[in-house]
Chain A
Amino acid sequence: MPEWIEPVARYILLEGLPGTLRVSAIAVVGSALIGVVFGTLMTIRFLPLRSLIRLYIEVFRGLPILVTVFIVYFGLPSAAPSLEFGPLTAASIALVLWGSAQVAEATRGAVQSIPNEQHEASSALGFGWVGRHRFVILPQALRRLLPPFVSLLVNIIQNSTLAQVIGGLEILEAGERQNERLSAIPPIGLGEIHAFEIFAGVAVLFFLLSFPLTRLAAYLEKRLA
């Protein structure tokens, strides 16, 4: 094995991978929490609230995620200086805005697919709106949401590469930095170009992260259908 591979692989796995995992974890948890709440509120027959959430969903699903990343990273600080974030945090926030819009839309559908009798029965048992949704409706709806959640996780892991565009250190940025280091003139680099091996390696790493999850999503969809 050529000598250059080991430090490159070490950098991508030890410096890049944790960045990707951090952004993905924050984005998935944030998207799920905000998305389920917004999606459930969408089923309330109160027009102003419903229109507001509908606008949120359509805006963040409609924008290219890269533009949302730029809005969070460059736009927010110029509107209010206190809203300045590091690249990985900014990417996580942008992915939460996009992901929560996806989850909200899916949750609305799942909640509305629960038969009305379930609402009536739990009301008859004395549950209020919150209790009814917390203990009866959402537990059933969430089961239907499991396959889309896994697909969302795959999408979020892949879209976490958008942090690279604003310089966040995740897998792709780690690979890019190593590519530049190796191609620099000695003594800084090796004066060699290994872009093909490095970016193929980055692609393989993402494939290994995503493929088991897409299989899992397909399996869950079949089982829960």
Chain B
Amino acid sequence: MILATYDLWAFVSDNQEELLDGLLNTLKVSAFAIAGAFVIGLVLGAARAHRIPVVSQLTAIYVEVIRNTPILVQIFFIFYALPQLGIVFDQFTVAWLSVMIWGGAFNSENFRAGFQAVAYRYREAGYALGFAPFSTFLNVTLPIGGRIALPSSINTYISVLKNTSLMYVIGYAELTTTSLNISNLTLQTTESLTMLAVVYLTLVWSLSALIRLLESRLALPESR
């Protein structure tokens, strides 16, 4: 039978349960990875901005290695190369771990830039008021620098979400894998790709809209 007709709605409604599971897996992997990338970025970005010995240098190496190798190679490395050393993860763990490591590297640069943009006189004021270095960070550098870093870090989270589609190569059943596996059986390639484009663009555009909203809401008073 030749399937010459294009029917996006049939593709979606016939496979709605599987597609919904795929979408949920995409969101789950993204949520894990984004939460992890946030923590990594915050901690390592602060270490870099305050030039904490050893941690700062190790972070610099981590960032350069991740930024200068393709994420697909990183995924292959974790999924195919680490088992040779006896380190075996299941597909779900590889999925969130690899994008989290990737996002964490970019995010630590976002936060480093944000914290470094906080004028020294603010921190000086904190010290003058008797705050210890760590409370100065919590009460002065973080609220100001964190806001400066917010738009670029959300951009990194958007990339993390988009990169979960790469889990196709390890066969993890997120949205892209699920949709293409279905269309391999039903030959509804065009419908499958349209659905993917619509869902990803909806997610990405909503997050971009969120950036613009946050940017205007959280703008520092002096730059308003």
Contacts and interface: CB of A to CB of B under 8 A. Distances in A.
Interface of A: 58-59, 62-67, 70-71, 74-75, 78-79, 154, 157-159, 161-162, 164-165, 172, 176, 179, 193-196, 198-200, 202-203, 206-207, 210-211, 214
A70 to B, nearest CB: 6
Contact of B72 (A78, A172, A198): A172
21 contacts: A62-B204, A63-B200, A64-B163, A64-B166, A64-B176, A67-B193, A70-B196, A78-B190, A165-B72, A165-B169, A172-B70, A172-B72, A172-B73, A195-B84, A196-B81, A196-B85, A199-B73, A206-B68, A207-B65, A211-B68, A214-B67
A210 B69 contact: yes
B89 interface: no
Contacts of B77: 199-200, 203
B72 A164 contact: yes
A164 B71 CA distance: 13
Contacts of A164: 72, 169
Contacts of B68: 154, 206-207, 210-211, 214
B189 A74 contact: yes
B193 A74 contact: yes
Given A67-B200, A164-B169, A165-B168, 16 more contacts: A62-B201, A67-B165, A67-B196, A71-B197, A75-B190, A162-B72, A195-B80, A195-B84, A196-B81, A199-B73, A199-B77, A199-B80, A202-B76, A206-B69, A207-B69, A210-B68
Secondary structure call for the A interface: helix
B47 to A, nearest CB: 20
A196 B76 CA distance: 10
Interface string B55-82: 0000000001101111111101100111
